[in-house]
Chain A
Amino acid sequence: MSTTLNHVGLPRDAYKGAATTLCAGCGHNSITNHMIKALYELGVEPHLLAKMSGIGCSSKTPAYFVETAHGFNGVHGRMPALTTGAHLANRQLIMLGVSGDGDTASIGLGQFMHMIRRNVDCTYIIEDNGTYGLTKGQFSATADLGSMQKKGAVNTFQPIDPCAVALTLGCSFVARSFSGDGKQVVPLIKAAIAHRGTAILDIISPCVTFNDHDGSTKSYSWVKDHEESIADVSFIPFFEEVHVDYEPGTVREVRLHDGSHIVLKKLGEDHDPTDRRAAIRVIEEGRAEGHLITGLLYVDTKMDDFATTEQIPQRPLKDLGEDELRLSPGDFAQFMSEFA
C-alpha cells in the first residue's frame, strides 16, 4: 500500500471505491484503475469531484473509484443533461462523466452532441466496447461494419465514431485511447480534466464476455495489433515545473487554462493537435488503412466554455440566498405597478 501523499495531502487509497461487480478482465476495470491513478496524481480534491454516469456496465464504474466523492448514476443516455445541470448549480465542481457506447452513440447521441455544442466544462469518458454487455451481447452503434458477434452474427451497419462526431461538432478536446494502454490513458484523463470545456475521451475497452473473440474489432488482440498512436502523450500539472529536454522539432506542447501542459512527442508523421481538419483526416485515413488511431486528436484551448459564455459567476449558484435572488421590496412594488 502506497502512503505517498499527493499535492493535496492524500494517499492513493483515498481515490479508491467499492469493489467492482464487472467481469474479471473487463477493460472498464482497467480504466477505473487509470482513473484512480490520474485523479490521485492530479490531486483532485474528492469533495469537489462529481462522478456522473448513465446506464450500462460503464455507468456502474463511478462507484468503483473515489468513494468519498458524490456520484450520480442517472438514466440511460442522459448523463450529459444531469452533468450540465449540476455544473451550472456549482461551477466549482469537477464534472467527470463516464458513459458507454450504447449510452453515448445510441440512446444518448442527442445529448452527447448538444453537450459538445455548448462546450460544457466536463470530462466525458466513453468506455467503448461495441456491445451491450448487461443485456447480453447485442451490437452497439460503435461496432464496426463487418464485425462479428460471439455466435457469428455480422454487423451490417456503419459505425458511429464518437470522436469523428465530436470533431465535426467542433468539440474543444477529442482523444481516443485503449484501456490496455495505461501510459496513454492516464495522461489523457489528466489533460481532459484540466481542459476547460467538453473533453471527449473515447477509450476502447474490450468486453471479455461478449466481444473479445476473433472477428470482433473491439477485442484485446485486435486492438493491440491495430492500435497506432499518433504521439506519445505526457501531462505536466500546473504544480510541477516544466522541463523539456527533447530535441527541437520532436515535441509539441499545449498549455491548458490552469497552467498545466500536455507534451506530445512525435512518433511517425507529425500531427498538429490544434488542426481540426487534420484530426478528421487522421481518423479517416486510419480507418481506411485498418488502424485504430489513438492519442490526443484535437484540442482548442481558446474556446469559452458554456458557463463563461453565459456569464455564470464562479461562486456556486446553489449558495445564493434570498438577499440576492429575490427582487427587493422596492423593485417588487415597482414591478407590480407595471402590471396595472
Chain B
Amino acid sequence: MTEPIVNDLTIQAATVNGSGSQTANLVLTRAIFHMGIPVAPKNVFPSNIEGLPTWYQLRITPEGHMARSDKVDVLIGFNVATWREDLKTVRPGGVVIHEEAFSTADARTDVIYYPVPFAKLAKAKIQSDTLRKQLANMIYVGVVAGVLGIPWEALEHGVKRQFLAKPKAVPINLDAIKVGFDYWQDNFSKQDSYRLEPMTGAVEGKVLVEGNQAAALGALMGGTTVVAWYPITPSSSLCEYVIAYADRFRVDSKTGEKLISVIQAEDELAAVGMAIGAGWAGARAMTSTSGPGISLMAEFSGLGYYAEVPVVIFDIQRIGPSTGLPTRTSQADIGFVYTLSHGDTKHLVLLPGTVEECYEFARDAFDYADRFQTPVFVLSDLDLGMNLWMTPEFQYPDRPFDRGKVLSKDDLEKIAGQWGRYRDVDKDGVTYRTLPGTDHPAAGYFTRGSGHDENARYTEGADAYARNMDRLARKLETARHALPAPVVDEAGRKVGLIAFGSTHAAVVEARDSGVDVDYLRVRALPLSDEVLAFVRSHERVYVVEQNRDGQLYDLVRLALPGELVDRVRSIRHYNGQPIPAAAIIEPLTERETVPA
C-alpha cells in the first residue's frame, strides 16, 4: 500500500433517480462534515421523476475547495445502466465499491474493487418491503464508512441531522448503514490508500446551505411580503423554502394571519405581473424563475423599468437555449437579463458568487429595488442554488429597510401637494413616488408603460421622451455606484482574471493550485469603474465564465476604451456541469507562462 491519502478525495455515487439515493448521499455528507472535514457536494440529476441515472459527487479537501472535480477517487457503482461508463471516470489507484452482480470481466485492473451484494443484503436484512429500495442506498453509506474510516458517532449524527423532522426514521436508517458497515468489516481488508480523519479548525462556525435556501432566508429578512411564482427547475426550491420558512416565521401567533402572500401563478407572465402590481402598491415583492420563465418575463420587465416599479426577480440559471438541459447549470442568461425587454431597457443585476451572497443580495435586492424604483435581478444558477455549500454563518442585518423616496401624506402636505412623479428633484435620476392609498388629493398619479412626462401625463412628445430616457440612464448611473463593488485581490501581477457567480469556486481553487493571477470578481451590473481600472493595470485579463459566447467578456469589452479592449481574453466552460478548476488551469497554462 502506498502513502495514505487523507481527507483529500472525491466520492462519486452513481445511482438511479428517485430511488432514495439522495438521502443516503446527504447522510454521508453530513457525517463527514461532522468530522470537521470540509465537503463540497454536487448533485447531477436528470429531468425525470424516477428511473434515469443520477450522480452525486462529494468533494473532500482539507483546503475546503468547493468546485467540482473531474477526477473520481471513490466510485459507488449502484446503477447497472451507467456502470461501464462510470468505471472509466475513476482515477488509477482509485476505489470502486459496486454491486457484486455487476460484471467486472475485462474491466480495468488499475483500480481496487470492493464488490458488495447490495441487493441480496437488502433482501435478507431489511424487513420493510415498502422501504427496502430506499434503505438499500443506506447500505452503501455503511460500506463507504468502513472503507474510509468514518466513526459510528459521525454516522449517527448524519442520520439524525438528515431526519430532523422525522426522528422515527433514525433507527431504521442506522440499521441499514450497519448492514453495510458490518459487511465491510467481515469480508474485506483495506487495499486502498484513502482515509478520512477528524480535523479541527476547518469547518468551525460553518454551515451547509443551498443557495436557494440562503436566498429564501434573505428574501424574508429583506421583508418580502408578496411572492408570486410558477414552478420551474432549478428555481422552484427557492419559493418552496420561502413557503416553509414563512409558515414558521410569518404567521401571526395571535390571529393565524400570514404576514406574506405566496401565490402560485398560472405562468411566469402572471407571476412577474403580480409582483410588479404589488411593488407598485408598496409591498416588497418578488418572483423567482429560470430559463424559459425569464424569457416570458421580458415584457413585464420592460414595464417595470419604464414605469419605474420596484420588484425583485431571481433567475436561477439553467442551461439553454430553449428548454435546454433543465437540470444542468450555466451562466448564459447574463447578457439577456441585463437588457431584458425591447427598447432601451437596462436593469440592475446582482451576481452572488457564494451562498452567503445569495443570502445578502436577496436581502439587499429589496432595498435596491425600492431605492431605485426598478426591477432588480438576482442572477444565481443551478450549481449555486441547488447544491449544498459550506459557508460561514450568515450575519443578522445591521440596518433597517431602505424604502426609498416615497412621499407620505405628511410629506405632501409640507410641499403643498407640489410634486411630479417623474420630476428629477435631486438630480440623481431617482424621482419621488406615492403609494396608492395615500390620503392626499395630490397623491394620485397615472402609471403607464406608454410615453409620459415629468408629471406622469401621457405624451408622445419627442423632447419629453428623450428627457425621460436620459433621466433613466442617469438613474442607472447613480445605482451603478451603489451596487456591490467587485471583490479585488491583486498584487501587481501582469495577468488578471475576471469572473462572476458560481465560477468563483473554481477560480479560488485554480489560484490555490498555482495559477498566479490577480483576480476581480464582478458582483453587479452595470459594471463598476473598478473593472476598467483592473484591466488598465494588467497586461492581459482573462474573463472566465460558464457560457458559450463569452457574455461577460463582451460586456467588459464594451465598457472599455478602445486601447484596452485587446487586453481582454475569454475562457468559457459550457457543458452543463459546474466548472472545475482544471477548466481554468489548463487553458491559462497553455496561453500564459504561469510562474510557479
Contacts and interface: CB of A to CB of B under 8 A. Distances in A.
Interface in B289-332: 299-300, 303, 307
A334 B333 CA distance: 36
A229 interface: no
Interface in B172-224: 206-209, 213, 217, 220-221, 223-224
Contacts of A20: none
Contact of B252 (A47, A68, A80, A313): A313
Interface in A273-327: 307, 310-313, 316-322, 324-327
B265 A81 contact: yes
Contacts of A321: 223, 400-401
Contacts of B273: 74-75, 78, 80-82, 84-85, 111
B433 to A, nearest CB: 10
Interface residues of B, number: 74
Given A75-B449, A88-B283, A326-B220, A83 B277 contact: yes
Contacts of B206: 340
Nearest to B30: A340
A70 B274 contact: no
Name the prevailing secondary structure of the A interface residues: helix
Contacts of B228: 81, 84-85
Contact of B259 (A67, A93, A317): A317
A312 B208 contact: no
Interface residues of A, number: 61
A66 B259 CA distance: 31
A338 B244 CA distance: 14
Nearest to A333: B396
A86 B277 contact: yes
A72 interface: yes
B260 A78 contact: no
Contact of A90 (B221, B436, B444): B436
Contact of B281 (A50, A324, A325): A50
A69 interface: yes
A317 B283 contact: yes
A130 interface: no
B446 A339 contact: no
The 10 closest A-B pairs by CB, nearest first: A85-B277, A81-B273, A318-B282, A89-B283, A82-B277, A339-B207, A89-B281, A85-B278, A85-B274, A70-B436
24 contacts: A62-B446, A72-B307, A72-B448, A82-B274, A84-B273, A84-B274, A85-B226, A85-B279, A87-B281, A90-B282, A110-B266, A110-B270, A311-B256, A311-B257, A311-B258, A316-B437, A317-B225, A317-B259, A318-B225, A318-B278, A326-B397, A327-B220, A327-B221, A340-B208
Given A82-B273, A85-B278, 5 more contacts: A88-B274, A88-B283, A90-B282, A114-B270, A325-B223
Interface of A: 18, 45-48, 50, 52, 62-63, 66-75, 78, 80-90, 92-93, 110-111, 114, 307, 310-313, 316-322, 324-327, 329, 331-333, 335-336, 338-340
